[in-house]
Structure formats: C-alpha cells, structure tokens
Amino acid sequence: MIHLPNDDNTCGWYQALPDAPAKAQLQGEEHADYVVLGAGFAGLAMARRLAVLSPESRILLIDAQRIGQGASGRNSGFVIDLPHKFALEHPDPAHKQKLLSLNRSAIAQLSRLVKQHDIDCQWSAVGKYQGAVGARGEAYLDHFEHLMTDLGEPFEHVGGAELAKVLGTNYYSRAIYTPGGYLMQPAALVRGLGESLPENVTIFENSPIRSLRKAGGNWVLQGDHGVVKTPELLLGTSIFTREFDYLKNRLLPVMTFASWTRPLADAEMQRYGGQLNWGLTPADHAGTTLRMTADRRILIRNTYKHVPKYGASISDAMRQQIQDDHRQVFLARYPALTEVPFTHTWGGVYAISRNFTNFFGQLDDGVYASACDNGVGAAWGTISGTLLADYVMGASSTALTDIRQVTGMPSLNPPEPLLGLGVRSRIQLAKWQSRSEL
C-alpha cells in the first residue's frame, strides 16, 4: 500500500490563486521515453531539463494532486541562497561554497523563467532577516555572524529600532540581514512553472500511482485508471520516495505549519506601521518564521510534527490547536491588530535525514532521484532536479560534479517505535528550549 500525500485543502497560497482548468488524468495505457513522478520544484526542473536536452523524446510528468497543492506550494515563500542552518556548520569551506553556488544557480534559473514566462508570483530580490527575540536568539545570531564571516558573505546588523520600522513590531531585539535571498508566492510559482513546460512534456494531475514494478525492460506505474510504461523513471517525490521502497528507513517525514491573515485594510496598515514584502527567519531554528507579503498578509510559521502517515497524521482538532497557538504568536507581535483574523492554517510535509544529507543519483536500473531537501526545497529542488536530468542524459558540468560531491546517503533510522518516540521527543525538547523565541 502506497501512502499518498493526503494534504488538506486549506493552504492559503493555493486558495489565493484564481481557478485554473485541471490537466488530464492518467487514463488507459501510456508509453514514454521518460517519466517524472512528482510535480514539485524538483520534478518540474527534471521535466523541463529533459525536454530541453531531448526535444524529440516524450516525457510524462505525473502528480497525485494538482500542481501547486503539494509541499512545494506550501512553504513560506523563501528561496534561500545561503547553505541552510546545519549545512553552515560543515567544517569544509569548499563544501559550503559549492552549496552556495548551486543555490545561486537555482535562483538565477528561476529568475530567468519567471521573467521569460511572465509568471505572476510576487518574485522579488529583497533578501531576508534572521531575527532574535531575546538572549537565546542573540547567541544564535552571534554564531551566525561568525559563520557568515568565515564564509566571506555580506551581511548587515539591524538594531531593534530600525528593525521595528520594517516589521511593524518591536518584539525583536535585533537581526542580521543577508541580501541574497528571494521571496515569492510558492503556489503561484509552482503553477507557473508547470504551465510553461516545453511542448514535449505531458502532464497528468490528480493521478496517484499505486504501485511500481519492473516488467519486460520497462518500469510499470499503475494508477487508478491507467498504467504507464517507461524505461527511465525520475523521482521528484521527496519523502514519498520511501513509498516505492527506495531510501526506506532513511527519511523522516516532518510537517511544519503556517497561518496567515486576510489582506490588511488601509486603516490596519496604518496601525501596523511597517513595510510590505519582507521575510524573517528565526535565529533559533525552532523559533517563528514571520512574513509580510506583497499583498498585505501577515504569515506566522512554526510548530513541527512527526507525520508517519503524512497529512493523515493531522486531525482537524490538531490543526485548530496549531492555529490557536499561532494566534498567540501573532498577538504578541501585533497587539494593535486583534480584529484581523486568520483565514487559513495549513501544513506541508518534507523530508529530513538524521545526518542532514541530501540524496542525488541512481537508485535502481533506470530509476533516479533527488530526495531529502532537509527543509530548503525551492532552491535545492530546482537545481538538483535540473542536474539529475543532466546526469540521466550523460551531460557533464562543474555543477554536476559539485552536487555529487556534496550529496550522499541519508543515514539509517532506528526502528519503530523507537524512531517515532525519539523524533517526537526531540521536537518537544526543541520547542521547550526555544519557547522564549516563539
């Protein structure tokens, strides 16, 4: 039994988009030169690159949901150039420089596509803030400053008073601003990337694959109403890669949650008093991510859950409790906006590994994957998907060499029930330790 995403229908980013006609569903028997499974950032990049490198080939891109409904459309809208948190701790400076170069290549690629195809997704080069609330957060900021100095990357100190003019709240003591990150509307970007694929890519939405087997030199993907046969299969399925018996017991499914407001009215904007279109991540990684969107919505993101059954692990009651917690976080920062309601609360599942290692490469004869983004899916998914297509097609480049050097095998997890107990305990400990930064 393959467990499917089972995402809720309350993602604010997706619900804010205008309705769009659904793509075809998988029906009958299909044959393709290449099949890409999963239409998130990684899968979209795989399909696009395959189509460019082999324009005469037939390429199928299959997703269990609508494009933009899954994890890639559910993040907080950051495209981060810097190595992410734990990767910044890597002892080898060359390793970090390779990650930085790969992420920036992804940003450049996405920038070109947004401009070329006029994708309306609030794409903006505004950098990001990393903010501290109190002493614990400031200690993390001090450490981040040392890491940035060692990396040779530019940054700016932002004091509490100056920061309040941007954020519209004096809740934070100070921040470090880094200029290389971008902000966007993730569901709009993912949908736009899907709508602008080359003509030799055929998309099937709402087409879950229930089984995978090898027969007669082809991989056979069985859906609800159809079957696909292909010699080459690329998995852009992240955590769901384990549902096909690959990287099993190596990936951890974690869901993080966000809530946002309706767009602020003019009078509310005056009381808010800050700027539009900025993003702040917490200095303490278990703290709160905060955003003001270009269309006047305030977004709160925190809370992590271990979700062995993905969306089916989350109940309506649990989601309501998360929204209540987010509400307290919101009011602590914006007490003058008590009448502004949350309109959506949603979760998105992603894969992490115990050794914080991304997988990239071949899993089986004719099966390839980029999996386990460890929470930085937009940039990493884009560049790893692009380079995986290069790898499959036998291309070569410095970037391909780099990504093979900075990836590896995610470490094995302990068996259940020890795994679940350990992950839940670690999440609870991090929440308690970071309570002053929430």
Please list the residue range(s) of the chain that carry CATH number 3.50.50.60. Answer: 12-73+188-250+357-414
Measure the CA–CA gap between 294 and 232, rounded to whole angstroms.
41
Other beta carbons within 10 angstroms of residue 53's beta carbon come to: 14
Q: Confidence class of residue 8 from pLDDT cuts 50, 70 and 90?
A: confident
pLDDT, one tens digit per residue, over 98-121 is 999 999 999 999 999 999 999 999
4 within 8 A of 307, measured Cβ to Cβ: no
Query: Which parts of 165-288 are beta strand (E)?
Result: 174-178, 182-183, 201-204, 209-215, 218-223, 226-230, 233-235, 252-261, 278-282
Measure the CA–CA gap between 131 and 114, rounded to whole angstroms.
29
Percent of the chain with pLDDT over 70: 100
Q: Is residue 200 scored above 80 in pLDDT?
A: yes
Angle between helices 93-116 and 186-195 (to 10 degrees): 70
Residue 149: which residues within 8 A CB-CB, separation 6 or more?
A: none
Measure the CA–CA gap between 102 and 57, rounded to whole angstroms.
27
User: Mapping DSSP to helix (H, G, I), strand (E, B) and coil, where does residue 168 land?
Assistant: coil
- The answer to whether domain 125-183+252-354+421-437 has CATH 3.30.9.10 is yes
Q: pLDDT at position 430, please?
A: 85
Average pLDDT, the chain: 95
| Omega before residue 417 within 30° of 0, cis | yes
Measure the CA–CA gap between 432 and 286, rounded to whole angstroms.
9
Residue 205: which residues within 8 A CB-CB, separation 6 or more?
A: 22, 23, 24, 25, 39, 63, 65, 66, 67
Please list the residue range(s) of the chain that carry CATH number 3.30.9.10. Answer: 125-183+252-354+421-437
pLDDT, one tens digit per residue, over 121-164 is 999 999 999 999 999 999 999 999 999 999 999 999 999 999 99
Cα 58 to chain centroid, rounded: 28
Q: pLDDT at position 339, please?
A: 97
- The answer to whether domain 12-73+188-250+357-414 has CATH 3.10.20.600 is no
Q: pLDDT at position 429, please?
A: 86
Instruction: Give the pair of three-digit tokens for residue 83.
Output: 């190595």
Query: How many helices and strands in the chain, by DSSP H and E?
Result: 11, 20
Q: Confidence class of residue 1 from pLDDT cuts 50, 70 and 90?
A: low
Report, as an integer, the average pLDDT of 347-352: 92
Q: Confidence class of residue 83 from pLDDT cuts 50, 70 and 90?
A: confident
Strand partners, 289: 301
Instruction: Give the pair of three-digit tokens for residue 17.
Output: 């988009």
